[in-house]
Amino acid sequence: MRCEVLAIGTELLLGQIVDTNSAWIGEQLALYGIDNFEHRALGDNQTRIVAAIRDMLTRTDSLIVCGGLGPTQDDLTRDAIAEVMNVDLVRDDALAESIAAMFKVRLRDMPQNNLRQADIPAGGAAIPNPIGTAPGLRCEVDGKVIYAVPGVPYEMQKMITEQVLPDLLARSGETSVITSRALKTWGTSESALAEMVAHRLDALEAVGNPTIAFLARGIEGLVVRVTAKGRDAADADAIVAAEESELRVILGDLVFGIDDQTMEYAVLDRLRTRGWTLGVAESLTGGLISSRIVNVPGASDVFRGSVVSYATDVKRDVLDVAAPSVVSEDAAREMAEGVRRLLQCDVAIAATGVAGPTEQDGVAVGTVCFAIALPGVAVETVTTRMPGDRDRIRQFATISVMNLLRLRLDGIAAQPWR
Amino acid sequence: MRCEVLAIGTELLLGQIVDTNSAWIGEQLALYGIDNFEHRALGDNQTRIVAAIRDMLTRTDSLIVCGGLGPTQDDLTRDAIAEVMNVDLVRDDALAESIAAMFKVRLRDMPQNNLRQADIPAGGAAIPNPIGTAPGLRCEVDGKVIYAVPGVPYEMQKMITEQVLPDLLARSGETSVITSRALKTWGTSESALAEMVAHRLDALEAVGNPTIAFLARGIEGLVVRVTAKGRDAADADAIVAAEESELRVILGDLVFGIDDQTMEYAVLDRLRTRGWTLGVAESLTGGLISSRIVNVPGASDVFRGSVVSYATDVKRDVLDVAAPSVVSEDAAREMAEGVRRLLQCDVAIAATGVAGPTEQDGVAVGTVCFAIALPGVAVETVTTRMPGDRDRIRQFATISVMNLLRLRLDGIAAQPWR
Q: Enter the ipTM.
A: 0.80
Query: For chain A, what is the mean pLDDT?
Result: 92
User: What is the DSSP-derived secondary structure letter of residue B361?
Assistant: T
Single-letter amino acid code for the residue at A90: V
Q: Note the pLDDT of residue B417.
A: 45
What residues form DSSP beta bridges with A360?
A: A363
The count of other CB atoms within 10 Å of the CB of residue B112 is 8
3-state secondary structure of A220: helix
What is the pLDDT, as a whole number, of residue A32?
A: 84
Cβ atoms of residues B280 and B306 within 8 Å: yes
Domain edges within chain B: 3-171, 177-258, 264-409
The tally of CA atoms less than 13 A away on the side-chain side of residue B281 is 38
User: Which of B287, B294, B317 is the closest to A290 by Cβ?
Assistant: B287
A223-279 residue pLDDT tens: 898 988 888 889 999 999 999 999 999 999 999 999 889 999 999 999 999 999 999
**Can you tell me whether residue B294 is helix, strand or coil?**
coil
- Are the Cβ atoms of B14 and A26 closer than 8 angstroms? yes
Contact B16 A215 (CB under 8 A): yes
d(CA A14, CA A43): 9
Contacts of B289 in chain A (CB under 8 A): 287
Under an 8 A CB cutoff, do A40 and B39 touch?
yes
pTM: 0.81
Q: What gap in Å lies between CA B272 and CA B264, rounded to an integer?
A: 12
pLDDT in tens, A185-194: 999 877 788 8
Instruction: Out of A14, A311, A343, name the one closest to residue B305 (CB).
Output: A311
Q: Which residues of B touch A360 (CB under 8 A)?
A: none
Distances (CA, A) of A357 to A365, B277, B290, B300, B373: 7, 22, 19, 13, 31
Per-residue pLDDT band for A415 (boundaries 50, 70, 90) equals: low
**pLDDT of A371-408, one tens digit each?**
999 999 999 999 999 877 888 899 999 999 999 999 99
H/E element, A279 = strand A278-282
The model's pLDDT over A43-94, given as tens digits with 9 standing for 90+, comes to 999 999 999 999 999 999 999 999 999 887 888 999 999 999 999 999 999 9
Which residues of chain B neighbour A277 with C-beta distances below 8 Å?
311
Q: What is the pLDDT of residues B98-130, one digit of tens each?
A: 888 877 876 677 777 888 899 999 999 999 998
Dihedrals phi, psi of A239, to nearest 5 degrees: -65, -45
Helices then strands, counting H and E runs in chain B, come out as 14, 17
**Does the structural domain B177-258 have CATH classification 3.10.300.10?**
no
Q: Which of B173, B185, B197, B184 is nearest to B246 (CA)?
A: B197
CB-based contacts of A263: which residues, under 8 Å, 6+ apart?
A184, A186, A221, A256, A257, A292, A399, A402, A403, A406
For B51-64, give the DSSP string.
HHHHHHHTT-SEEE
Q: How many residues does chain B have?
A: 418
Q: Helix, strand, or coil here: B322? A: coil
Distance from CA of A39 to the nearest CA of B (A): 5
Instruction: Write down the pLDDT at residue A342.
Output: 97
From chain A, pick out residues whose CB is under 8 angstroms from the CB of B26. 12-15
Q: How far is B391 from chain A (nearest CA, A)?
A: 8
Q: Which of B13, B295, B311 has its CB closest to that of A37?
A: B13
Predicted local distance difference test score (pLDDT) of residue B413: 56
**Phi, psi at B279, each rounded to 5°:** -130, 155
Q: Which residues of A touch B287 (CB under 8 A)?
A: 282, 286-291, 294, 306, 308
Average pLDDT over residues A299-316: 96
CA angle, B368 then B339 then A339, to 5°: 105
Rg (CA), chain A: 27
Instruction: Report CB contact under 8 Å: A318, B342.
Output: yes
Q: Do A318 and B305 touch (CB under 8 A)?
A: yes
Q: How far is A267 from chain B (nearest CA, A)?
A: 17
Nearest to A38 among B22, B23, B40 (CB): B40
Report d(CA A60, CA A38) in Å as an integer.
10
What is the distance between the alpha carbons of residues A45 and B36, in angstroms, rounded to a whole number? 12
3 state SS of A283: coil
| Architecture per CATH, A263-409 | Alpha-Beta Complex (3.90)
For A281, the enclosing helix (H) or strand (E) is strand A278-282
The reply to whether residue B391 touches residue A288, judged by beta carbons under 8 angstroms, is no
Residues of B in contact with A22 (CB under 8 A): 19, 41
Q: Do A221 and A256 touch, CB atoms closer than 8 A? A: yes
List phi, psi (to 5°) of A307.
Answer: -115, 120
Q: Do A23 and B37 touch (CB under 8 A)?
A: no
Kindly provide the b/e burial profile for residues B122-131, where b requires at least 16 CB atoms within 10 angstroms of the residue's own CB.
eebebbebee
Residue stretches of chain B with pLDDT short of 70: 106-107, 412-418
Q: What is the model's pLDDT at position A413?
A: 56
Among candidates B13, B41, B314 on the partner chain, residue whose Cβ is nearest the Cβ of A304: B314
Across the interface, do B305 and A308 touch by the CB < 8 Å criterion?
A: yes
b/e B204-234 (16+ beta carbons within 10 angstroms → b): beeeeebbbbbbeeeebbbbbbbbbbbeeee
Collapse the DSSP code of B282 into the 3-class scheme (helix H, G, I; strand E, B; otherwise coil) and give the result: strand
Which chain A positions have a beta carbon within 8 Å of B291's beta carbon?
A: 285-288, 291, 394
Beta carbons within 8 Å of A242's beta carbon, 6+ residues apart: none
The span from the CA of A332 to the CA of A344, in Å, is 18
Q: Look at residue B11 in the predicted model and tell me its pLDDT.
A: 87
A27 CA to chain B: closest CA distance, Å?
A: 5
pLDDT over 90 percentage in chain A? 71
Fold that domain A3-171 belongs to in CATH: Molybdenum Cofactor Biosythetic Enzyme; Chain A (3.40.980)
Confidence check: pLDDT of A417 > 70: no
Say which CATH architecture domain B264-409 belongs to: Alpha-Beta Complex (3.90)
